[in-house]
Chain A
């Protein structure tokens, strides 16, 4: 089941929101409605789902409605129309008490400007969610303590928010959300107020935390690089509408329209493309039983000066150069006695940017290995063309 399911969610701000929805359904544009009625469409007919444990990113520029959308999910802003199912239950139809319980047990939020309580120390801030639930002091402080340690703030329990740096304050914000033990984290531009280095650090730690704790995360950002780095899937918003949903790959390779294209145009592709995107199927493989003669023949056929050697189960054993093959042939040795082991390996998820350096210093192709099995090879030219061709593909689309 989906953790969050959003169906046709719409928010119109103004004197007669239902009228606004009607106009939207009749196909009037946001601008037309503003002109005719003075009402603002915040979110228009948004639908998406977030699966358990998924990291879902909503990306859009300011004014695109993303902050409104995330607030419709926990009803900090009342939706005008549509449904929001949290674990299958429609939050838009809940009474006051059920809504409060859902906020307490299932949804935790992290805010752009931290929104810490200045009169409470770190421990009391983190324990706030449990405190309003009526959890006993010793128990809530123990839980708060654990999430403080999870975010790496041990030792700061008695500090006050104004004594902490921005990055540390947001760690408190994150710990406060984690302490509730809810499955879903709503993160509203959580890292946007931080400087770039701290921001990167927090992103990495959030990814680690998520893999450790298995939270479902709905993350809002205006930064495409952040979206691509964090999101399992990304929804791009414009003018209150979701214009494309997909993985980082899908969005980069096939921007749904010019708006998305303009977004992704400047992305540093080396950070997005991974080894698995540019690797080639290993051209020729000599199995363990093949002798030097067969190897030499295969290299000759493919025009190679070296070849990777694997066993029956495709486990990578080493690389055989043409010189070594000739030597083994002349001296009547086994291939395994002349294998070269000094080559580079990488896993399929390594970003292109990390491969550039390796490729530059490696004599041989880079072996892409997954669980010790050879799944592909990367030659220097693939890296260069990966960097260049991706760019040309998007430029082709623009024309």
Chain B
């Protein structure tokens, strides 16, 4: 099948080293400092607030949104994180997840709304989303390091790339799923497109959109270990330390920490979606 030689490797490297880094370096530096500012701010905030208060907030949220059982689980889970001395790591991971999710949502939701409205945009965006979701994350870790250096910034960027597609897709689906007769009713009473969106489509779509947000958070968490390979601090680095020193116990301790955090965040955001349904 080797009819011609495709020098994709050389082209990409030429593009990255000869143009992207020298020409666009300044741009990436400023992006980097903005993200860094966000993530440090959030991480500092989480670390500044006493662990007990954060735990109580989580327990209350779980109790209000997901019921007594999840509240008890949250209590046990937060006690676990403290007892294995992973609270700080958990907060750093949470900071990466929160910032990455924040960017995923502020970009994913409007994009999802637009693709629901304009099918031409949908045709363009869909393959890009496929690309983002299926390209092995290691592949874009390499340029992420080159452009943003090591640490939490490339971690947030690659987490964003991995976690944004469900936010876009579920928003598009949610808007398209709003029953046709409600849209017709809104039109028949003389709504503008904007009124239709904010008064009818979005409120009706919220439960499905929240399911997308929930998926975004879960995917962001699942990137924690991979992100730690490029120097992101947090629970992932504990797991990575366990892997590199073949320390089964340390791996399990860190891994369980991620699971605990994942379950708490999942149930709380699911509860948020269900609450909106009622």
Instruction: Show the binding face of A for B, using Cβ within 8 Å.
Output: 71, 74, 76, 100-104, 107-109, 111-120, 128-129, 131-133, 176, 180, 186
Contact = CB atoms under 8 A, between A and B. Distances in A.
Nearest to B200: A117
A133 B181 contact: no
Contacts of B186: 117, 128, 132
A232 B19 CA distance: 77
A132 B190 CA distance: 7
Given A120-B203, A131-B199, A133-B190, 16 more contacts: A76-B184, A103-B189, A104-B189, A109-B184, A111-B181, A111-B185, A112-B181, A116-B182, A117-B204, A118-B204, A129-B190, A132-B192, A132-B195, A132-B199, A176-B189, A186-B188
B189 A115 contact: no
A108 B185 contact: no
B190 A109 contact: no
18 contacts: A102-B190, A107-B188, A109-B184, A111-B181, A111-B184, A112-B181, A113-B181, A115-B179, A115-B181, A115-B182, A115-B184, A116-B185, A117-B199, A128-B186, A128-B199, A132-B192, A176-B189, A180-B189
A124 to B, nearest CB: 10
B111 to A, nearest CB: 23
B190 to A, nearest CB: 3
B183 to A, nearest CB: 9
For A102, A109, A176, the residue with the greatest tally of chain B CB atoms inside 10 Å of its CB is A109
Given A76-B184, A113-B181, A119 B203 contact: yes
Given A117-B200, A117-B204, A119-B204, A109 B192 contact: no
Contacts of B182: 115-117
B190 A103 contact: yes
A103 B187 contact: yes
A102 B188 CA distance: 10
Given A103-B190, A129-B190, A109 B204 contact: no
A238 B187 CA distance: 28
B191 interface: yes
Contact of A74 (B179, B188, B192, B204): B188
Given A131-B199, A132-B195, A132-B199, A115 B185 contact: yes
B156 to A, nearest CB: 34
Nearest to B181: A115
Interface in B189-219: 189-192, 195, 199-200, 203-204, 206
For B186, B187, B190, B195, the residue with the greatest tally of chain A CB atoms inside 10 Å of its CB is B190
Contacts of B200: 117
Contacts, number: 64
- Complex A-B, nearest 8 residue pairs according to Cβ-Cβ distance, in ascending order: A104-B190, A103-B190, A115-B181, A115-B185, A109-B188, A129-B189, A119-B203, A100-B190
Given A113-B181, A115-B182, A117-B182, A108 B189 contact: yes
A109 B185 CA distance: 7
Nearest to B191: A132
Contacts of A119: 203-204, 206
Contacts of B206: 119
Contacts of B185: 109, 111, 115-117
Contacts of A113: 181
A262 to B, nearest CB: 31
A66 to B, nearest CB: 16
A109 B195 CA distance: 18
A128 B186 CA distance: 8
Contacts of A117: 182, 185-186, 199-200, 203-204
A112 B200 CA distance: 19
B155 to A, nearest CB: 37
A100 B181 contact: no
Contacts of A109: 184-185, 188-189
A100 B196 CA distance: 13
A324 B188 CA distance: 68
A94 B179 CA distance: 27
A132 B191 CA distance: 6
A101 B191 CA distance: 10
A164 to B, nearest CB: 15
Contacts of A111: 181, 184-185
Nearest to A112: B181
Contacts of A116: 182, 185
A71 B191 CA distance: 16
Nearest to B180: A115
Contacts of B195: 132
